[in-house]
Structure 1
Amino acid sequence: MNSIPISNNTNSILAEIKKKELVHVDAEGVLMIKDCILIQQFTGKAYTYRAVNYLNGKQQYLFYKKSPITEENHGDIAEKMMVLSFFNVDYPKDGPEMVEHIFRKVFPSYGYVVRDEQINLAKHMYETLCNGKISLSDVPVGLGKTHAYLVATIVYKLFHKTGSLKPVIISTSSIELQRAIIKDYIPEISKILMAHGIITSPVTCVLRKGKENYLCDHRLNDYVSTLDPDKKKNSEYQALTQLIEIQEIDLDEVKGISNYDKRKICVNNNSCMTCKKQSSCRYQKYMKQAKRTGYHFQICNHNYFLADVLRRKRGLSALFPDYTHAIIDEAHKLKDAANQMYGTSVRQDEINQLLRKALPKHDGSNVKRIREICNEGITNNDLFFKEVIHQIPKEIEDEDTEKYKTIITQRARVFLNRVVVNLEEILRLLPKKDRKLVADIKRNIRQMKIFNCSDIIYWLEEPFSKGQTTLASVPITLSKELGQDLWTNDISFLLTSGTIAVDRDFNYAKNELGMKQVHKDRIIEISKGTPFNFKENCLLYVAENIEYPDYDNPKYIASITDEVERLIRASNGHALVLFTSYKPVRLVYQNLNERITDIPLFQMARGRSDAINAFRASGKGVLFATGSMWEGVNIPGDILSHLIIVKLPFPIPDPIREYEKTCYSSIDDYLNSVLIPQMLIKLKQGAGRLIRNETDTGIISILDSRAGANGRYHEAVLAALPKCSITSDIQEIKQFLRLMKDKTYFK
C-alpha cells in the first residue's frame, strides 16, 4: 500500500466517468494515480491519451501513439500527469481527508450508507493510531465499527511508512467475527480501494489459532492406516483420505469429518518435539509463513492474543511478529479470556490418566516401585478432590453457578502435596524419551503447587460430574498484571465493543482491565449512539405488578409465568424469553407448555443449540433460554419481535466476586462500582438481540420489579437502553405490533 500508488485497476472509475459522460463510450482506462485516470481511445489511425480528474471532471489531452503504450511506459506517463494543474487538487492530502473520501465518495458508489458517526469514529481511530494512544469506543450494533477500524488502519499504513511492514493484530472473542473479517470485510474493502486506485495491491491477512485447530500430517496418516473402510462411515472415511491430498490444514474449514476424528488428527501439544517429518510438515510450513511480517493484519481470538503477551513476558518465542498497533474487538470479553490465560486449573481425571500412562507396560528396573507410586498417586488425587468437593457449602450445591466455592482444608493440602510428591518421584524414574508424558507431568506439578499459594482466588468446576471435577484459580492481582502487561508499553490499542461502557462511563471496564496505572492522557474514550430509530421501531414494556425476584419463591414463579403468558399472547409468539439461570427456564417452560398449545414453545438446554434452529424455523414460536442467548446470537426477521427479559441479569455470586467485595469499603460501594455496571452491560447485550438493522421492529419487556417506576434501578435501566417509548400496559403492545407488522404476522 504505497502513498502515491499507480494502479492498473481502472474499470470501476472508468464506468463512473462514462456514466457522467466525461469520456467517450469507447474509451479505455490505462492507469490511475491518485485522482487522475489515463484514458486511451483509438481514432481509427492512432491511439490518443488524455488525463481526466475523476473527482472534478477536469481533463487534458497528453499525446498520441500509433500503437498502444506498454506498462513499462507507465512510470514516465505518471510523472507527466503529476505536474498537471488539476492533479491532486481534490485528492485527500492526509489521513483524516482520506477517511472522509473513502466513506463519503468511494463506499457510497458500492451501496454503502454515509453515516457521520461512523466517519467520526474512523477518524478518531486513525488519530489514536497516529498518536500511539489507547482508544476505548462503545459502538452500538449497526454503526459499522469493523469498517471504521479497518479503514482507519489501512489509511494509517498509507500515510505512515515507518513500521508499515509490521502487522496490525486484530483480536476478537468469536470465530464468527474472525471469519467475517477475513472472508468478507477485508476482501471487499481491498477490492473497492484497489478499484479506486487508493491501494495497488490487496490487503493481506492471516488467521491465527491454537495448534489443536490444525491438521497434523503424521497423525492423519497414522489414523487413516488404522481404519477399516467397511466399519467406518463411508462419507467420513472418504473425507479423511481426501484430506491427505488436499492442501487445507485448518480443521474448521474441513467438511464431513466428525469432532472425534478431528481430535485424532489435529496437531497435538508436544507432538511436534519428537516428529521426524518437520521439514515436510504442512503445519510447520503454515506457521513459518504466518509468522512472517508481510501480512497487513494478523487475526486471532483473545486467548491467542494473550498467549503471545504471556510468552513475551516469560522470555519465550513470540507467536506474532513484532507489532506496534492492536485492535481488540468485542473488548468486553477480554477479561474473561484473561481469567483463563492467567489462571491455573487441574482436572481430576487428567491427573489420574497421566498416572495410568506412567504405569510400565513391560517388566524392567523400577517397575514395581513405579506401579506402587502410580496407584498411590491415584488414591491421593481422588481423596484430594473428594475433600474439596465436600467443602462446597450445602446451600449453593443446586445453584446455577459455574464456579463453586470451596475450601482447601489442611487435610486437603496433605493429599495435594502427596500427589505432587508422587508425580515428582515418577518424573525421576520415568524414561526421558517419553517427552510428551514428561512435559505433561511437569505442567501438572507446576499447576498443583500454585494451589498452595495465598495470592489466588480458587473454585471448583463441574464438582458433581464424576471424574470431571476441575480445581481452577486466578491471581488476586490479575487486573494489575493485565494492566502491566498490556498498557505500559508503546503499543497503540483500539478497544471497541457495543457494551464496554455504562451510559458513556468506562470506569468499570478500565478497572477490570487494569488501566488505573495508565496516565489518563493516554486513554481516549468515545461513545456513539445507535443508528437505528428506536423511538419509532421499538416499544419498552416495564411490568409493575410482579413479585420481587426470587427463583425459590413459588409465588414469584407463578407471577412471572402468568405475565410471560400474557406477553406471548399479546405478540402472537415471535418471542425470546431470557432468564438468568436454567432452573426458572425449566419451571416456566413446563408450566406454559401445558397452557399454550397454539404457539410452538422451545426450551434451550445447557450446551445445546438445536432449540435455536427449531425456533428460527417455527415462524412464530417462543424460545425460553439463558446463557449464550444473552449475546452473540443473531436472529433476523419477524421471528424475533418480542424480547422478554424476566430478571435483571445481576452476576451469580462466585468466589471471584466474593473476593472483589472485600476490596470495597462498603456493600454500596461494591454494588455501584461492580455489580450494577455488570448487570447493565449484560442487559445491553440482551437488549441488543432485538433490533439488528434499520427495518427491525419489536418490543422489549422487562419483568423485574426493581426496574419499575418505583424500583431502585429504574433510572439506571432506562439510561442503559436506547431511548424508546415506554409503557406498562399490555394493550399498547398489541396496538404497536398491529401498526408495525403486516397482516401475515398475526396468522
Structure 2
Amino acid sequence: MTSVAQYFKSTSVLAKALKGFAPRPAQTEMATAIAATLKAKSQLVVEAETGTGKTYAYLVPILKSKGSAIISTGTKALQEQLFHRDLPALRDAIAPQKQVSLLKGRSNYLCLHRLAQSQAHASELSTTVQRQVVEVKRWAARTEDGDVGGLNALPEDAEVLPHVTSTVDNCLGRDCPDYDDCYLVKARKSALEADIVVVNHHLFFADMALKDVGFGELIPHVDALVFDEAHQLPDIASQYFGESVGSRQLQELAQEAKVLYLTEVKDLRQLDKAADKLLGSLRDWRLAFPVDPQRGNWRQAQQQPQVAAAIALVSEALTFFTEVVKGAIGRNQDLDTVYERCVQSLHTWEMLQETQRTGFSFWFETTPRQVTLHQTPLQVADKFGSYVANSEASWVFTSATLAIGDDFSHFTRLLGLEQAATLCLPSPFKFSQQATLCVPRYLPQPHEVGMLEHLIQVTTQVLDVNKRGGTFVLFTSHRMLQRVAERLETLTDRPLFVQGSTNKRELLADFIAAGNGVLLGTSSFWEGVDVRGDALTCVIIDKLPFGSPDDPLLQARIEDCRLRGAEPFTQVQLPPAVIALKQGAGRLIRDSSDRGVLIVCDQRLVTKPYGQLFLASLPPLKRTRNLTQALNFLAEINGETPA
C-alpha cells in the first residue's frame, strides 16, 4: 500500500494532477503525523504556519484512510472552498470512490413549508419582504439543494430569509407536510451515506450541545474528526454549552401567534391580546437600557430598579402568553409548535434570572432594538475533553495559530486535550526577505488622546508611498475604525472600503478589484482573509488586541482565574491577544512571492516584558523602529526609488 508521504513527492499522482503542486517538507511531515494519528485512534494538535499547505496535508490521509470522517471548518466560506474546490481535485486524483457531502446548519436551507406560509400570509409582510418572497419562489423552482447561499438575486442578509428558513424551534419535523421534499432532510440523508462530511464549527457544536436534532446521528459513527481553524473552538464551544434568550426570539413567537390568530384560529381573540401584551413588555424591557448598544454584567444590571421592573413585566407577559397558547393545544399544528417554544423560552428566561449560580458568566448585550441575555460557562475543558477521550475516533486540530511561542498548553488546557500529541511546523516562506515589521518610535500609548492623530499620520504616510498596492488598517474597536474612516475620507482619494458598508465577501472582492484600495476592518478581517500579490502590501494594526476590560465574559473569567489561585493576565488575557495578533499579521504574506510591511502602532510591543511573547509568536520578519526604513521598503515594493 502506498504510504501517505509518497503522495507529496514531485513524481506523485498529485504533482501530475494538481497545477502548481510542489513538494514541501513540512506538508509531508504533517500528513505523515496525521496518518499515524488515524491509525492509532489518537489525538493530534498541529500548528501549520501560512504556506505549509495544511489543507492537502490533512485531506490526503483522510481520503486514503478506510473509515469515515468529519471535517469541520471555521467559516462557511472555507467550508464551501473545501467542498467545491480542494476536495474534488484531490478525490478525483487519489480516491474517486469516496463519497463526499456538504452539510450546513438548518438556517442555510430553504424551508418549503415556511415559504408556503409566507406566500399565504403575504399581506402581513412588509413590501420589501413581499417582493423578496416572489424572488425566492422563482429561485425555488430551479434550485437542487435549497442552499440559500445560491440565492444570488438577494443580499446575504435579506429580510425575507427568516421567513423562508426554519429554526429548531419552529420546524415541524416529521409532521411537516413537506417533509419528503425537505432540503435539510435530503442534506442530512446525503451526509449519513457519505464517507466524508464537511461541516463548520458552529454546526458541530450545535449538535454536540444538543441544540439541534438529526445531525447527531453522524458524529458517533465517524472514525476521524479534523478541525481546521481550530483556534476558534474554545470560544465557539463556550457559546454552545451556554444558554441565551432574547427579545427578538420572543417577538417572533408573538408575531407568529398573531398571524395564526388572523388566519387559522380567528375566534381566539385572547391569543392576539396576549401576544400584544408580550410585545409591549419586550419594548419596555429594551427601553430600560441606554440607547447606545452595549454589553454588560447581567448580575449587576438586573439589580437596577428600572431593569428589575421591566423583567417582572416580561415574566408576567410571557407566562400569560404561554398559558393562552396552552389552552389552544390540538387546534393547529403550527400553534402546537409555538407552545413548545413558549415552554422552552420561559424555562430559559427563568433560569437566566437565577444569577447566583457559580461557574458561569451572566451577561447581556443590546442592539438599537433588541436585548439578549446570555449564560456562558467559564470553562468547557471537562465537557469537551471527556467527549474526546471517551470516543473511539481520531481527533486532529489544526490552525496557523495555536501555540504561544512553541507552547500549546493554552489551547490544550481550554479544550481538555490531555492526551494530545503536538506538532509545530514552520512556514517555507522567507519572511525576513519578504516582509518588514515596524513599531514606529515616538507613538503615544494606545489610550492617550493623541493616538488618533498619530494613527492617521502613519496611515497617510503609508498611502503616499503604497500607491500601487493595497492597504489593510485593522482595528480592535469599531469606534476607532469609524473615527479614522471619517478622517481618511477627506485626506485621500484612494478607494476606501469600510467594514459594515456592505457584506464582508463583497467588500473584500471590491478591495481586491481596486488593486490599491484601503480597507478598514475589525475582528472579522483579522483572520480567514486571503489576499495575495500587490492587492495587499501593507497591514497596519492600531494596537495589541487585548480583550476589552468592560467585556463581562472576560471579567468573569478573570475573577474565576483569581479564585483558582492563578494569575489572570498571563492565563486569561495574554494568550488570546497573542493568537489574535498572529492572525492579523498573517494577512500580509500569503504566497512565496508576496512582499509587504506590517506596522503595529503600539509601543507596548517593545516596551513591556510581555511584548517579547508577542514577538516570539510572530513570523521572523525583518524588524525596525524606524518608520522611514519601512516606508523605503514599501517604496521598493511599489517599484520606486526610496526617498
Mapping of 1:372-391 within 5 angstroms?
Answer: 373-374=274-275, 376-387=277-288, 389=289
d(CA) in 1 for partners of 2:265, 2:137: 39
Aligned AA (1:418): E
Post-superposition Cα deviations, 1:509-566, rounded to whole Å, max 9, x if no partner, equal: 1232233xx3xxx21011111111101111111112100111xx43222233223333
Deviates more, 1:102-111 or 1:205-214: 102-111
| 1:615–1:675 Cα change, 3 Å | same
- Other-structure match for 1:581: 477
SS in 2 for 1:530: coil
Task: Say yes or no: does 1:563 pair with 2:448.
Answer: no
Q: Select which of 563, 569, 578 maps to 1:680.
A: 578
Deviates more, 1:582-591 or 1:662-671: 662-671
- Other-structure match for 1:457: 361
- Other-structure match for 2:348: 447
Aligned AA (1:109): K
Asked if the contact 1:178–1:300 (Cα under 8 Å) also holds between the matched residues in 2, the reply is yes
SS in 1 for 2:36: helix
Aligned AA (1:297): I
| 1:739–1:362 Cα change, 3 Å | closer
Q: Select which of 139, 151, 154 maps to 2:63.
A: 154
How big is the shift at 1:123? 0.7
d(CA) in 2 for partners of 1:605, 1:280: 37
Task: Say yes or no: does 1:604 pair with 2:505.
Answer: no
- Other-structure match for 1:243: 140
Aligned AA (1:483): G
d(CA) in 1 for partners of 2:202, 2:449: 42
Q: Select which of 301, 304, 307 maps to 1:407.
A: 301
Task: Say yes or no: does 1:548 pair with 2:445.
Answer: yes
Asked if the contact 1:648–1:679 (Cα under 8 Å) also holds between the matched residues in 2, the reply is yes
Asked if the contact 1:187–1:203 (Cα under 8 Å) also holds between the matched residues in 2, the reply is no
Aligned AA (1:154): L
Asked if the contact 1:416–1:448 (Cα under 8 Å) also holds between the matched residues in 2, the reply is no
- Other-structure match for 1:509: 411
Question: Alignment RMSD, CA only?
Answer: 3.6
Give aligned pairs, total.
615
How big is the shift at 1:324? 2.7
Asked if the contact 1:500–1:681 (Cα under 8 Å) also holds between the matched residues in 2, the reply is yes
Asked if the contact 2:8–2:28 (Cα under 8 Å) also holds between the matched residues in 1, the reply is no
Mapping of 1:114-129 within 5 angstroms?
Answer: 114-129=23-38
Asked if the contact 2:435–2:598 (Cα under 8 Å) also holds between the matched residues in 1, the reply is yes
Q: Select which of 475, 499, 508 maps to 2:401.
A: 499
Mapping of 1:304-383 within 5 angstroms?
Answer: 304-311=203-210, 318-320=217-219, 322-355=221-254, 357-358=256-257, 360-361=261-262, 373-374=274-275, 376-383=277-284
- Other-structure match for 2:50: 141
Asked if the contact 1:99–1:152 (Cα under 8 Å) also holds between the matched residues in 2, the reply is no
d(CA) in 2 for partners of 1:250, 1:362: 29
| 1:226–1:690 Cα change, 3 Å | same
Mapping of 1:416-431 within 5 angstroms?
Answer: 417-419=315-317, 421-431=319-329
Asked if the contact 1:567–1:730 (Cα under 8 Å) also holds between the matched residues in 2, the reply is no
- Other-structure match for 2:91: 190
Deviates more, 1:677-686 or 1:347-356: 347-356
How big is the shift at 1:175? 1.4
d(CA) in 2 for partners of 1:250, 1:315: 18
d(CA) in 2 for partners of 1:701, 1:123: 37
d(CA) in 2 for partners of 1:616, 1:232: 32
Mapping of 1:250-329 within 5 angstroms?
Answer: 250-257=147-154, 259-267=158-166, 269-281=170-182, 283-292=184-193, 295-311=194-210, 318-320=217-219, 322-329=221-228
TM-score where L is the length of structure 1: 0.74
Post-superposition Cα deviations, 1:351-380, rounded to whole Å, max 9, x if no partner, equal: 244345446559999957656655554455
Asked if the contact 1:631–1:685 (Cα under 8 Å) also holds between the matched residues in 2, the reply is yes
Asked if the contact 2:526–2:580 (Cα under 8 Å) also holds between the matched residues in 1, the reply is yes
Asked if the contact 1:501–1:509 (Cα under 8 Å) also holds between the matched residues in 2, the reply is yes
Q: Select which of 78, 81, 90 maps to 1:180.
A: 81
d(CA) in 1 for partners of 2:56, 2:85: 11
Deviates more, 1:304-313 or 1:433-442: 304-313
How big is the shift at 1:185? 1.6
Aligned AA (2:6): E
SS in 2 for 1:628: helix
SS in 2 for 1:526: strand
d(CA) in 1 for partners of 2:574, 2:214: 39
SS in 1 for 2:301: coil
d(CA) in 1 for partners of 2:587, 2:384: 30
How big is the shift at 1:217? 3.8
Asked if the contact 1:141–1:688 (Cα under 8 Å) also holds between the matched residues in 2, the reply is yes
- Other-structure match for 2:639: 742
| 1:382–1:260 Cα change, 3 Å | closer
- Other-structure match for 2:391: 489
Post-superposition Cα deviations, 1:240-264, rounded to whole Å, max 9, x if no partner, equal: 3363255332222344356345444
- Other-structure match for 2:97: 202
Aligned AA (2:15): P
d(CA) in 1 for partners of 2:144, 2:175: 23
How big is the shift at 1:722? 0.7
d(CA) in 2 for partners of 1:424, 1:242: 37
SS in 2 for 1:543: coil
| 1:288–1:567 Cα change, 3 Å | closer
- Other-structure match for 2:625: 728
Q: Which has the larger radius of gyration?
A: 1
Asked if the contact 1:602–1:624 (Cα under 8 Å) also holds between the matched residues in 2, the reply is yes
Q: Select which of 537, 544, 558 maps to 1:661.
A: 558
Aligned AA (2:11): K
SS in 1 for 2:569: helix
Asked if the contact 2:408–2:422 (Cα under 8 Å) also holds between the matched residues in 1, the reply is yes
d(CA) in 2 for partners of 1:734, 1:316: 52
| 1:105–1:354 Cα change, 3 Å | same
SS in 2 for 1:138: strand
How big is the shift at 1:300? 0.6
Asked if the contact 1:311–1:318 (Cα under 8 Å) also holds between the matched residues in 2, the reply is no
| 1:732–1:674 Cα change, 3 Å | same
Asked if the contact 2:49–2:425 (Cα under 8 Å) also holds between the matched residues in 1, the reply is yes
Q: Select which of 514, 518, 523 maps to 1:618.
A: 514
How big is the shift at 1:211? 2.1
How big is the shift at 1:670? 1.1
Asked if the contact 1:619–1:639 (Cα under 8 Å) also holds between the matched residues in 2, the reply is yes
Mapping of 1:642-653 within 5 angstroms?
Answer: 642-653=538-549
How big is the shift at 1:582? 1.7
Asked if the contact 1:291–1:321 (Cα under 8 Å) also holds between the matched residues in 2, the reply is no
- Other-structure match for 1:699: 597
SS in 1 for 2:140: helix
TM-score where L is the length of structure 2: 0.85
Q: Which sections of structure 2, spanning at least 5 residues, go unmatched?
A: none
How big is the shift at 1:671? 1.0
Post-superposition Cα deviations, 1:400-431, rounded to whole Å, max 9, x if no partner, equal: x6566652228626446434532442343233
Asked if the contact 2:561–2:572 (Cα under 8 Å) also holds between the matched residues in 1, the reply is no
